[in-house]
Structure 1
Amino acid sequence: MTDQQTPPPVLVHVEGRAGHLVLNRPRALNSLTHPMVRTLAATLDAWARDPDIDTVVLSGAGERGLCAGGDIRAMHDDARDGDGTATEEFWRDEYRLNARIARFPKPYVALMDGIVMGGGVGVGAHGSVRVVTERSRVAMPETGIGFVPDVGGTFLLSRAPGELGTHLALTGDAVGAADALLCGLADHFVPARRLDALRADLASVPAAEAVRRHASAPEEGVLARARAWIDHCYAADTVEEIVRRLADSGERAAKEAAGTILAKSPTSVKVTLEAVRRARALGSLEAVLEQEYRVSCVALRRPDMVEGVRAQIVDKDRAPRWSPAALEAVDAQTVTGFFAPRGPGRELTFG
């Protein structure tokens, strides 16, 4: 297939009063590239000023999901073989896009059907009208690849009820529709079979009314019943104490969570806990994104990110060799170093 025949990675079209953005890399689970981010940003800028567009609708091509995240393989290659500049520039534009979506002046309807992870949460869960289905699996799984939740994920998770967000941040667990609603990652449940009808209504009906016509209640989730042990265990001050409480709780799910955390990058889980706690004290999404940019740029140059992507995505042996390999070997100075200002011209700012 020639370049002229290759379909664009973002399909842009208008139906009635609705502008549609369709992430169009289904074989890569619609993972985001830098050109895709630029296309989304430029189109949103144009549509914000267009009096003929009342609503923006984001969806993903294919049957598997909205978006599995950023192009992790490209980031891995840049960190391993390059100087990280390309990835930093990508994040700079991506995080600004996340803020733009959160502040978009018109209804921004994100159809968060299927897999919605990492960067997919960034382009979906900051929207004003966030729709999940029975097929939705929403997650910030970064600790499993030696990275830390970004794209405003620590902002969203820090504001989930109790310690639910801390649990999801450290374990990287995916949640279904009911739990996404409970955690503030989504607003409405619409059965997948009704999505086409919802899209049709959005062409001529205000977004709130269109969603109301098709929304219903999802099946019960699992997190509401686990609040007691989650809130107790994750309120601890350190990851070591969180893991100890989980292991000693007597709850099977809690013991499984302890094992999950211990399998992640020790550095990543410690930095993630600090990032979520700091995000609670920051007053805006933009401030959290600025913090995440600092953390991400440090993580890019640490060995665990390259190793984590190698183990999960490149070689797929699922046996990462973390450095250091134990929680106790990650000291406080290492953790706080992720949050240090990077200097003039190297910070993410919002004008």
Structure 2
Amino acid sequence: MDLIASREGRLGRILLNRPQALNTLTLPMVREFRRALDDFGRDASVCAVLVTGAGDRGLCAGGDVRILYELEPSHKRLFADFWREEYELNARIASFPKPYVAIMDGVVMGGGVGISAHGNRRVVTERSRVAMPEVGIGFFPDVGATWLLSRAREIGAYLALSATSVAAADAIEAGLADVLIHAEDIQPLIDRLATIQDGADVDVALRRLARHPGSGRLSLHRRLLAEATAYEKVDDVIAAFEREGSEFSLRAAEDIGAKSPTALKATRALLLRAAGAPDVETCLTNEFKAACRMLATHDLYEGIRAAIIDKDRRPSWSPDRLDAVSDETVEDILGGDDTPLPTFKSWDQTPYSAWRGSFASR
């Protein structure tokens, strides 16, 4: 089974069980995840939910986009079903009414961020590498990441446009995680959670094992990131990094400039919209519209080919320059099409108090 739902005492457990594929998500896994989460949410005897990934390489490397690449052209639209149900799951997690503990150990990317960073108790380790790398495959940060990253301000914009992965401290500073524990303490934490009697016991267990994350690498460059990402146009963001001239800024300019021009412009526009959005559901709806339109773009398939299929890391973007991507093209992508939109259902219960970030100052 690619996803295993189980009970340990009053703890509901969801295990992603595709270690050979870095626990990448498929549509059946998303559906089983949703069923398990709904069951745990309604069951009064369940006090909390724990999400983990099988193996020692990571929680989840995202959605299995290899499937999209291998679909027959006439069947590509079927991938919209995956996105719709995945985004509905992301929204369900964001409003889950009980403690939702996600162990973000190892690689946590794309859809892996969606099933973890929207939770209310997000745990990283010294092995964590967190990223939204979608612009590198001709796509954009989705799974509600435009909501998360737009609220991480300059760090969020940089992560979205550069596809850079970050370690635990930066993930916490960016608001993508809450608490750092040592990887060797994962099993002791699971053992403690298996004995909880109410939701408050979850926080006690986390505090006993929490470690101070220290300052992240990106905190050294916050002023530069703020100045560069203050520009609305991606061209101007890159130019600002180039002008500053430090090793970090030149690398940032190079990293961003190597990504899909179409994806970069769509990402920037989605982030700007997300900054004024009232809730994550609005961002997920905007992302779904754009995702469906991106199915018709060259860069999505070329990016998947270069990164995942052939692994030559040499995508040939079309257009290959930012100034060749018109504002009309971006508006067309954001406008979506006639594909049925996701539907978001609220929980009957009042959400358990969420305290994101309370460990960051320890």
| CA shift for structure 1 position 341 | 4.4
Q: Does 1:124 align with 2:116?
A: yes
* Aligned-partner Cα distance in 2 for 1:350–1:189: 31
Between 38-47 and 216-225, report the one with greater CA deviation.
Answer: 216-225
Q: Answer with 28-37 or 210-219: which moved more.
A: 210-219
Structure 2: which 5+ residue stretches go unaligned?
346-362
Q: What is the TM-score normalised by the length of structure 2?
A: 0.92
Cα shift at 1:12: 1.6
**Alignment partner of 1:272 out of 244, 267, 270:** 267
Q: Aligned pair 1:245/2:237, yes or no?
A: no
Number of the residue aligned with 1:195: 186
**Using the alignment, how far apart are the partners of 2:213 and 2:240 within structure 1?**
31
Match of 1:158 in 2: 150
CA distance in 1, matches of 2:89, 2:232: 33
CA distance in 2: counterparts of 1:265 and 1:273, whole angstroms: 12
Structure 2: how far apart are the matches of 1:115 and 1:308? Answer: 20
**C-alpha deviations, 1:237-285, integer Å up to 9, x for none?**
2111111110111221111010011111000011101111110111000
1:53 is matched with which residue? 46
Distance in 1 (alpha carbons) for counterparts of 2:172 and 2:8: 28
Residue 18 of structure 2 is aligned to residue 22 of structure 1: no
Asked whether 1:234 is paired with 2:226, we answer no
Classify the secondary structure of the residue corresponding to 2:75.
coil
Contact 2:24/2:60 (CA < 8 Å) preserved in 1? yes
Question: What letter matches 1:88 in structure 2?
Answer: A
AA at the equivalent of 1:238:
K
Per-residue Cα deviation, 1:278-325 (whole angstroms, up to 9, x for no partner)? 101110000000000001111121010000000111011111110101
Cα distance in structure 2, aligned partners of 1:81 and 1:67: 27
Q: Distance in 2 between matches of 1:63 and 1:71?
A: 19
For these two proteins, the number of residue pairs brought into alignment is 341
Shift of 1:76: 1.6
Tell me if structure 1 keeps the 8 A contact 2:125–2:168: yes
Match of 2:359 in 1: none
Moved over 6 A (4+): none
Report the equivalent of 1:302: 297
The answer to whether the 8 Å contact 1:26/1:62 transfers is yes
Q: In 1, distance between residues paired with 2:79 and 2:336?
A: 18
Q: For residues 76-128 of structure 1, give each alpha carbon's deviation from its aligned partner in whole angstroms, at most 9, with x where no partner exists.
A: 223x6333222100111000000001111111100000000000000010011
Does structure 1 residue 115 correspond to structure 2 residue 107? Answer: yes
> What is aligned with 2:67?
74
Kindly indicate whether the alpha-carbon contact (under 8 Å) linking 1:341 and 1:347 is maintained by their aligned counterparts in 2.
no
Q: Which residue of 1 aligns with 2:348?
A: none
What residue in structure 2 maps to residue 3 of structure 1? none
Tell me, in whole angstroms, the C-alpha distance in 1 between the residues paired with 2:93 and 2:73.
32
2:340 to 323, 333, 346: 346
Q: Is the 8 A contact 1:17 1:53 kept in 2?
A: yes
Query: 3-state SS of the aligned residue for 2:334?
Result: coil
TM-score, normalising length: structure 1: 0.95
Letter in 2 for 1:269: L
Q: Percent identity?
A: 47
Give the superposition deviation at 1:16.
1.4
> For 1:42, which of 4, 10, 35 is the aligned residue?
35
Q: 1:292 is paired with a residue of what secondary structure?
A: helix
Determine which of 304, 309, 312 is the counterpart of 2:307.
312
Give the Cα–Cα distance (whole angstroms) in 2 for the partners of residues 127 and 261 of structure 1. 29
1:58 is paired with a residue of what secondary structure?
strand
Among 125, 149, 152, the alignment partner of 2:141 is: 149
Residue 202 of structure 2 corresponds to residue 207 of structure 1: yes
SS of 1:83's equivalent in the other structure is helix
**Counterparts in 2 of 1:314-333, with a 5 A limit?**
314-333=309-328
1:178 corresponds in structure 2 to 169
Report what 1:4 is aligned to.
none
Quick check: 2:149–2:160 contact (8 Å CA) kept in 1? yes
Q: SS of the counterpart of 1:84?
A: helix
Match of 2:79 among 84, 87, 101: 87
State the SS of the aligned residue for 1:20.
strand
Superposed CA RMSD:
1.1
**2:57 counterpart of 1:64:** yes
Q: Which runs of 5+ in 1 are unaligned?
A: 1-7
Answer yes or no: is the 8 Å Cα contact 1:294–1:342 preserved in 2: yes
Residue 149 of structure 1 aligns with an amino acid whose one-letter code is P
CA distance in 1, matches of 2:217, 2:74: 43
**Counterpart of 1:14 in 2: which secondary structure?**
strand
Shift of 1:221: 1.4
Which whole-Å CA distance do the structure 2 matches of 1:242 and 1:48 have between them?
A: 43
